[in-house]
Every structure is written in structure tokens, then in C-alpha cells.
Amino acid sequence: MAMKTGKEYIDSLRKLNLNVYMFGEKVLVPVDHPIIIPSMNAVAVTYDLAFDPLYEDLMTATSHLTGEKINRFNHIFQNTSDLVKKVKRQRLLGQKTACCFQRCVGQDAFNAVYSTAFEVDAKYGTNYLGNFTKFLRYVQDEDLVTDGAMTDVKGDRGLAPSQQADPDLYLRVVERREDGIVVRGCKAHQTGIVNSHEVLCMPTISMDPADKDYAVCFSVPSDSPGIVLIYGRQSCDTRKMEGTEIDVGNSQYGGHEALIIFDDVFVPNDRIFLNGETDFVGTLVERFGGHHRPSYACKVGVGDVLIGAAALAADYNGVAKASHIKDKLIEMTHLNETIYSSALACSYEGFATPSGAYLIDLMLANVCKQNVTRFPYEIGRLAEDIAGGLMVTQPSEKDLRSPEIGHYIDKYLRGVASVPTENRMRIFRLIENLTLGTGAVGYRTESMHGAGSPQAQRIMIARLGNYAHKKELAKAIAKIKD
């Protein structure tokens, strides 16, 4: 089938029978819910830009499975050019949406599972890669969105999955049947699952043989019987239900997270990509984390929007020429471009795995994500500094529109005389959205914890640091002989 437009994508979501809950009630039509619509719109952008000749090279690719033109989010990386284009696409979409556009986890999961399945098959004679390529071809042919699900709720983090008081705190196989398996558990922080057609599940930590039932990787439709989606809260999220535009900050686009409950979900044999091979779980986790960490180049695109908003706030406040304002904007730009440069670096240094799929340089990918855990917070702080306190204390849009009091707001909240008060209020609300509101989930907090917390990257940096080699270099220069 041909690639979908954004509208066709949204129409395809209407055909799903998703089991979604929000605020304690079932959401009967998720695609029409005002809190969900902005996140759905953000995904739709990833479809529509694929038809724009200006962005076609970044948004589409040629499938190595079929030779057909596909959306690049459903592509297996074939060379370093693919890895670099991913980073550039991430920045572009961050600029276009100023939020999480939700498809990165799926592509990173595709690539981690593909290369790992190849190696499991080579060792054990399984057919996991055959299963996976059949599934991937279906996703490419139908132009679907796949949610990558790795993070378990974990329970007592000092205990292995098989040692938990409640065995369901990591997703596990509870029954093995001739035609497939039955799984039970929960995946947390699931970006875009309500906007996804499929959910691709992976283990979340390295495992021992005792954890065999937890060493499972598979994909099922997001509306499969037994799947319950519980929508996550975000700061200021109910503003989307108030019928105002200014107060939302970013009224058109947004992201979302949810819990995915697997209440005895059946997985057919041809959708299983790992089933008990605990010795390959670490490889899968490491490769997914490696691919996903430079995906946070999306924060560079959102950072571009935030820097632009801060510069506009300075203009509207009448302080754009102040030296300290200029210096803060320079610092924001420096930090933003540093993230981008490390994302590009790990991509240019990518290499082929035995499967032929390309993997980024793991050390540089972890350095990239370590930067992401820090720099957006400083960029956000500087944006708040430049904007001023009115960003969080200004009245609502309804007050501005009020026949009784609107003229007071228009008069007393004006900065530079030539700039409409409404424009000033809009830019303040955008900065608030990106640093404190619903947008902060996808910019700040996701920067900290997405693709692993800061300590996860530091562990990998230590592991890959090759200190023994560096010691030998120092000895050679110092002329030290053991």
C-alpha cells in the first residue's frame, strides 16, 4: 500500500478499538478527545512531511526488504547516512512541532530487535529474524505507527525480575501454548501508545537464566484483547479542555505518556522475537538504548523554538539590546548545538552489525544523552530568566477577551508599545508550556529520564571508557616501563 497522509493516519486510528482510560473513565473515542488531539496532530506531521518535496530525503527511505518507498520511521539503518538523516529529521520535527512526535522509540526498537534477532538465530537456530521481518514488512506496507515498549515498572529495584514479591512487576510469559504465548505485566512511560497501531515490547534490564520468563520480545496490535491503556497526567493538561488557545501555549501539538497493562494478552508464534534467551537480553537493551539516546536530537529542534521564543520575549520586553540578554541567548545556542554535534558524531561513527543493520557509536551516543540530561534544563532556566515573572502570573485568555476587564489587560500588560499585548502573552505562554506545562514533559523531564536516567549513561561511559588503553598512552608519553 502507499504511504499515508496525516489525515489517512488519523482515519486509521478511528478503526482501532483501543481500551483507554483517563481521569478514571473510559475514553470512548480517543481521536476526538481534546487532551489527546494535539499529540495525534504531532504524529500526523511525520506523515505529511513525507509528501513535502523539501523534506522528502529526510522523511522517506527505500525499504531494504521490498525496494519500495517508505516512511523513514519504519526503516532499518543501512549506512551512516541513514543514521545522520535520523538526527537531522529529529531536529526538523522538533522545530515543526515543539513537542514529542512519538515515533522515535518505535524505529529505535525496530533496529535493536532486527540486529539482535539475527544473532540469536545464528546461535540457537531460531527464526526470530524471519518473524520480525514479516512483521516489519507489514508495518512498512501499511505505513503504521509502532510504540516501542521497554520500561517495566520494576517494583523493588534491588531485586531481579524473578525475585519480586509480585511476579508481574516485570512483563513476563505466564503461559506457553502450541500456537503462542500469554503475557502479563505493565510497561510505563509509554510515549504515543494511544496514537499507535502496534506495540513492540522488549525486556528492560539484563537477565540471568532464572529470569527466563521475562526474557521476551514481541509485537501485538495496540487494541489486542487484554491491553488496557491508562493515560498519564501532565502539568496544565486540562487547559486543552477549556476552549482557549493562548493559555495552552502550544495549542496545535503535544505529546503523551501512558501505562500499558497486559492482562493475559495472547501473542502468536510469528510475532515472537525473543523467548527465554536471557543471554541476549543485555545486547538488546544496550542496542536499543544506544539507538534511542541520540534520538534526543529532537530536543535540539524544540530548543530552537524555545530560543526563538526567548529572543521574542526580549524583543517584546524591550531588552533585546542588553548585553546580558545577548549573552544568555548565546549560551542557550551553544548548549543546544553541543547536543546536536554529539548526536551527529555518534551517527557518523556508526558501523555495521553482523545483520547488516547499522549501529551508532555507543560511547558518543551515551555522551550525547548525558548532555541532554543537563543542557535543556539550563536552556529552560535562561528562557524563564529572559521572559520574566509575567510568564506564570499573567491572567487567562478569557480575561483578555472579557468586555469588562480585557481593556485593563491590554493596557497594563503591554511591553514595547508597537507590539500587541496578545502577542506578548502568547510568547510567554509558549515559554511556560515548554518549561513548566505539558511541553515540559517532552522537553525537560523526558530529557532527564528518557532512554535511561543519567546514571544509565554514566555506567555505559565507564564501561566503554577503555581506561587501560588510556593508561598505556600516558605511560608511553611519560616513558614508563613496567
Give me the active site residues, please: 100, 104, 191, 257, 292, 296, 298, 446
Helix/strand/coil for 176: strand
Q: How far apart, in whole angstroms, are the C-alpha atoms of residue 67 and residue 119? A: 24
Question: Bridge-partner residues for 15, per DSSP?
Answer: none
CB-neighbour burial class of residue 92 (10 A; exposed 0-12, middle 13-18, buried 19+): buried
DSSP secondary structure string for all residues of 288-302: HHHHHGGGGGHHHHH
Residues sharing a CB contact under 8 Å with residue 149, sequence separation 6 or more, in sequence order? 109, 187, 190, 193, 199, 200, 201, 202, 260
Residue found under cell 524583543: 315
Residue found under cell 543485555: 282
Q: Where are the beta strands (DSSP E) in 144-257?
A: 146-149, 172-177, 180-187, 198-201, 216-221, 227-231
Altogether, the residues listed in the chain come to a count of 482
DSSP secondary structure string for all residues of 105-127: HHHHHHHHHHHHHHHHHHHH---
C-alpha cell at 333: 545556542
